[in-house]
């Protein structure tokens, strides 16, 4: 026993020495890479400041906004409202911010903005040209990094000063979000007044933020379901002018109107193709409604559907190769897709209930529609009919229309019992649902493309 202990010690000691040596510093392996997760919130709190735009000289303008100094304030306010309503940022507008001097517009006082906790800064200037036109310069700065992100400028006629502001908001929005712009666009819709059984309905148009509002018809006859042409030069809509529903094309500048085509049959649901060269309409013969296509400049109609029942509506894919429409040939309203020549018709909505008013997103990746299961709700799906997502959840929401960038949707909401209608907007993630301000009630919104 006594001899074993020293032997064991002799064996253990060298082993521990070896261990100590292997634990010695200066490892032969490369320096380690340390990995960590950084998790942020989608409810981001990016603070973006939009102070009033500066000017080189405070002179009167031909705009509705007064002198260049007041105009600079109003331009910033339009941008502020665009970004606030969009919900992507937490903007602070010119009413709450000090007004930069003209020299600071291109050389911001970063320190002062940093001390206000601002992340991004939009600055700009307005300048009255001798021609009466207005030049607007727009600059976006990353305050924390202390560098400029993007800049641009536009010269517009005085009556278009709001467009320059929307262009600046679009520049900021698309630079920060990666999305295409959409603020510089117009909306056609139906303005409604009167009792539920005798509504007066007038065709109306406005900017995407509700400004520059105009009534285009008197309301003596019912006007329904308008559509802006892609070049904004015409609006197609449904009118009961002669006691029968017919499709008219109206020039928003002159208010001159003409019939799309003469027929003894009722016509519904006018639609433009994305390039403006074709028009879709739906015509009822003997109670059966089908979809037709006709050159917008006039010509021979082409019948696209002939199933018994109601085939109606239709919305082109952005590349013009396909059309999504609604049909009740299966026994209830559902959504179908076909090639632009009418071939290959197949149903894509299999959600239960009824599916109606399909609209193809200008980005091509989504189809918005009205899903009816008791209530009417705005929903989206992919063009194959999968990935159903609801954007709203109210008693009766219908007729979605897409913003030019395919990321925001407008629709109209009907109130139970009173039947009063209003225009609403929601983004594709279902957030930022908000009511649009219109002079009276509104329905059937139709969003035009981005203005060049």
Which one, 78 or 280, has the nearer CB to another protein? 280
Query: Site for another protein (CB under 8 A): which residue of 209, 326, 359, 433?
Result: 326
Round to whole Å and give the CA distance between 151 and 105.
11
| 234 in Cβ contact with 250 (< 8 Å) | yes
Q: Does 39 bind another protein (CB under 8 A)?
A: yes
Give least dist CB 317 to another protein, A.
Answer: 14
Q: x/- string (CB under 8 A) for another protein, residues 277-306?
A: -----x-x-xxxx-----------------
Residues with Cβ within 8 Å of 278's Cβ and at least 6 positions away in sequence, in order, are 272, 293, 294, 295, 296, 316, 320
Helix (H, G, I), strand (E, B) or coil at 112: helix
The residue range among 57-65, 109-117, 205-213, 254-262 that interacts with another protein, by the rule CB under 8 A, is 109-117
Q: Which of residues 189-228 bind another protein (CB under 8 A)?
A: 195-199, 201, 222, 224-225
Nearer to another protein, 200 or 302 (CB): 200
Candidate list 50, 165, 203, 269; residue touching another protein; CB under 8 A = 269
Please tell me whether residue 268 binds another protein under the rule CB under 8 A.
Answer: yes
- The reply to whether 239 sits near another protein by the rule CB under 8 A is no
Q: Pick the binder of another protein from 205, 280, 399, 426 (CB under 8 A).
A: 399
The size of the chain, in residues, is 452
Q: Which of residues 55-84 bind another protein (CB under 8 A)?
A: none
Q: Which helix (H) or strand (E) holds 111?
A: helix 110-115
Q: Determine, following the binding rule CB under 8 A, whether residue 16 of this chain makes contact with another protein.
A: no
Report the largest interatomic distance among the alpha carbons of the chain, rounded to a whole angstrom. 123
Stretch that binds another protein, among 208-216, 227-235, 326-334, 335-343 (CB under 8 A): 326-334
Residue 244 DSSP class: S
Angle between helices 68-86 and 161-177 (to 10 degrees): 40
Q: How far apart are the first and last CA of the chain?
A: 100
In terms of Cβ atoms closer than 10 Å to its own Cβ (0-12, 13-18, 19+), residue 218 is exposed
Distance between CA atoms of residues 259 and 299, nearest Å? 13
Q: Which region, judged by CB under 8 A, interacts with another protein, from 6-14, 16-24, 207-215, 336-344?
A: 16-24
Instruction: Please tell me whether residue 386 binds another protein under the rule CB under 8 A.
Output: no
Please pick, from the candidates 8, 42, 103, 297, the single residue that binds another protein as defined by CB under 8 A.
42
Kindly indicate which of the ranges 4-12, 140-148, 159-167, 316-324 contains the residues binding another protein, using the contact rule CB under 8 A: 140-148
CB 309, CB 320: distance < 8 Å: no
Member of 82, 160, 170, 179 binding another protein (CB under 8 A) = 179
Beta bridge mates, 375: 373
Among 18, 57, 144, 256, binds another protein (CB under 8 A): 144
Helices (H), 290-407: none
The answer for residues whose C-beta is within 8 angstroms of residue 185's C-beta and 6 or more apart is 207, 208, 403, 404, 447, 448, 449, 450, 451
- Is 140 a binding residue for another protein by CB under 8 A? The answer is no
Contact between 122 and 138 (Cβ < 8 Å): yes
CA 351 to chain CA mean position, Å: 25
- Written as six digits, the tokens of 103 are 């020299």
> In sequence order, which residues have a C-beta less than 8 Å from that of residue 257 and are 6 or more positions away?
248, 249, 250, 251
Q: How far is the CB of 428 from another protein (least distance, A)?
A: 5
Closer to another protein by Cβ: residue 160 or 444: 444
To another protein, the closest distance from the beta carbon of 166 in angstroms equals 19
Nearer to another protein, 136 or 446 (CB): 446
Closest to another protein by CB, 218 vs 288, is: 288
Least CB distance to another protein at residue 302 (A): 19
Measured CA to CA, the distance from residue 6 to residue 9 in angstroms comes to 5
34 contacts another protein (rule: CB under 8 A): yes
The footprint of another protein on this chain (CB under 8 A) covers a number of residues equal to: 85
Query: Which single residue is written with the structure tokens 């003997």?
Result: 286
Q: Provide, rounded to whole angstroms, the least separation between the CB of residue 340 and another protein.
A: 20
Residue 248 near residue 259, CB atoms below 8 Å: yes
Which segment (67-75, 101-109, 173-181, 204-212) binds another protein by CB under 8 A?
Answer: 173-181
52 versus 176: smaller Cβ distance to another protein: 176
C-beta separation of 80 from 97 below 8 A: no
Interacting positions 408-447 with another protein (CB under 8 A): 414, 416-417, 419, 428-429, 443-444
DSSP state of 125: E
Using CB under 8 A as the binding rule, whether residue 357 contacts another protein is answered as yes
Nearest approach, Cβ of residue 85 and another protein (Å): 14
């Amino acid at each position: 026993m006594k001899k074993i202990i020293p032997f064991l010690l002799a064996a253990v000691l060298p082993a521990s020495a070896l261990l100590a040596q292997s634990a010695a510093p200066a490892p032969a392996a490369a320096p380690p890479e340390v990995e960590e997760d950084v998790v942020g919130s989608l409810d981001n709190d990016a603070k973006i400041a939009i102070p009033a735009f500066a000017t080189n000289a405070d002179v009167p303008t031909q705009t509705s906004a007064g002198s260049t100094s007041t105009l600079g304030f109003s331009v910033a306010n339009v941008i502020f409202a665009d970004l606030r309503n969009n919900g992507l940022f937490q903007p602070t507008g010119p009413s709450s911010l000090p007004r930069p001097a003209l020299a600071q517009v291109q050389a911001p006082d970063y320190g002062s903005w940093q001390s206000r906790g601002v992340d991004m800064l939009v600055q700009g200037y307005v300048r009255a040209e001798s021609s009466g036109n207005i030049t607007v310069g727009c600059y976006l700065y990353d305050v924390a990094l202390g560098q400029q992100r993007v800049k641009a400028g536009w010269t517009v006629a005085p009556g278009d000063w709001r467009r320059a502001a929307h262009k600046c908001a679009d520049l900021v929005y698309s630079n920060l979000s990666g999305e295409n712009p959409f603020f510089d666009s117009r909306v056609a819709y139906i303005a409604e007044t009167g009792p539920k059984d005798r509504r007066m309905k007038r065709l109306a148009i406005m900017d995407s933020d509700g400004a520059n509002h105009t009534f285009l018809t008197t309301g003596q006859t019912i006007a329904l379901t308008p559509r802006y042409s892609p070049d904004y030069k015409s609006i197609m809509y449904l009118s009961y002018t002669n006691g029968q529903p017919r499709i008219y094309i109206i020039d928003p500048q002159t208010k001159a109107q003409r019939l799309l085509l003469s027929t003894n049959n009722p016509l519904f649901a006018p639609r433009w193709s994305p390039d403006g060269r074709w028009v879709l309409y739906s015509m009822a013969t003997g109670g059966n409604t089908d979809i037709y296509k006709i050159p917008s400049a006039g010509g021979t109609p082409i019948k696209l559907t002939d199933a018994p029942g109601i085939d109606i509506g239709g919305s082109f894919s952005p590349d013009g190769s396909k059309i999504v429409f609604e049909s009740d040939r299966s026994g209830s309203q559902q959504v179908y897709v076909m090639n632009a020549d009418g071939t290959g018709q197949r149903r894509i909505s299999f959600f239960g209930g009824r599916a109606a008013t399909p609209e193809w997103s200008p980005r091509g990746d989504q189809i918005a529609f009205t899903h009816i299961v008791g209530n009417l709700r705005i929903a989206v799906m992919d063009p194959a009919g999968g990935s159903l997502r609801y954007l709203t959840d109210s008693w009766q929401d219908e007729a979605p229309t897409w913003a030019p960038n395919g990321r925001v949707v407008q629709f109209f909401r009907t109130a139970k019992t009173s039947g009063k209608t209003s225009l609403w907007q929601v983004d594709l993630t279902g957030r930022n649902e908000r009511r649009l301000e219109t002079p009276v009630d509104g329905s059937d919104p139709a969003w035009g493309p981005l203005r060049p």
